[in-house]
Amino acid sequence: MRWTPGGRSEDLEDQRSSGGGRMGGGAGLGIGGLLLLGVLSLVFKRDLITPFLNVGGTDSSVAATKADPKRDAAEEPMVQFVSFVLDDAQKTWGTKFATQGKSYQRARLVLFRDGVDSACGSADAAVGPFYCPGDKKVYIDLGFYDELKRRFGASGDFAQAYVLAHEIGHHVQNLLGVDRQVRQAQQQDPSARNPLSVKLELQADCYAGVWAHSTSERKLLEAGDVEEALRAASAIGDDNIQKMSRGRVVPESFTHGSSEQRVTWFRRGFESGEPSNCNTFAK
């Protein structure tokens, strides 16, 4: 991806040297959560995914994070890259909202290491990147990108950009009231909890594609960028994670969508560039 290094977003909060907290119910399982739980399931030969999804939270300690200047310096290029993606994605959505006569409220990005407190509760790095509607912030431990590359073969800067753009997609849903409507529907009909979660996640994938479309129009994409995003979307499909962790696929337990679904909806947003084509709830 074509971008100019050398700055940090004003919407960036660097908490990598801050202490953690206690794990509470509320922080949703992000993109990385399924990946890392899948890896741990392989290591310990136990299904660690289903128990996590079936409870409201845990009460495990999140260790305090010590300052690590050397690691901070090594991560600085990545910090500048996610800053660029954050600002670019939000500028794109600001324009989209303005054309509809709406005002876009910017999200903030919190970088953390090991553990973090949010308005949705406390979380550790195993949760992966997540968005908290309570404080309108995206949370990312940059170590997740190493896992995405090493464990799942989804490398490249645009794969990393896709992850952040997906979480900004959840922010867009929050601003539009979609997230609230889905949560209410899930409470009214618990049996629809997983199917509605899938639709919510797939719409965020489509919104990530909408942003990617805008980068293509502005000639920011390089050869192979779209393929990087598609590989990442495929890698984090529920079916792929379940095959790795359980050796079998249980569609009724999907919460994020299959690899095919995630690729399809990202591509739909990318090809059209129109949020109106991202109505997963009509399908």
Taking a C-beta distance cutoff of 8 angstroms, is the pair 162, 233 a contact? Answer: yes
Task: Give the domain ranges of the chain.
Answer: 12-282
Q: What are the tens digits of pLDDT across the range 71-105?
A: 888 999 999 999 999 999 999 999 999 999 999 99
Q: Where are the alpha helices (DSSP H) in 218-258?
A: 225-235, 238-245
pTM over 0.95: no
Which stretch, 53-67, 68-82, 115-129, 159-173, has highest mean pLDDT? 159-173
Which two structure tokens, joined as six digits, stand for 230? Answer: 């598609």
Q: What is the DSSP string of 122-161?
A: EEEGGG-SEEETTTTEEEE-THHHHHHHHHH---SHHHHH
Task: Give the whole-angstrom CA distance, residue 138 versus residue 196.
Answer: 21
Q: What is the DSSP string of 69-108?
A: HHHHHHHHHHHHHHHHHHHHHHHHHHHHHHHTT-PPPPPE
pLDDT band at 55 (very low <50, low <70, confident <90, very high): very low
Q: Nearest to residue 210, comparing CAs of 112, 92, 58?
A: 92
- Cβ neighbors of 207 (< 8 A, separation 6 or more) are 165, 166, 168, 169, 172, 173, 269, 275, 278
Residue 166 has pLDDT above 60, yes or no: yes
- Cβ neighbors of 100 (< 8 A, separation 6 or more) are none
pLDDT value of position 190 = 95
60-to-55, 66, 111, 127, 141 alpha-carbon distances in Å: 13, 19, 21, 13, 18
pLDDT band at 64 (very low <50, low <70, confident <90, very high): low
Least confident of 29-38, 76-85, 101-110, 144-153: 29-38
Q: What are the tens digits of pLDDT across the range 181-205?
A: 999 999 999 999 999 999 999 999 9
Residue 19 has pLDDT above 90, yes or no: no
Taking a C-beta distance cutoff of 8 angstroms, is the pair 245, 37 a contact? Answer: yes
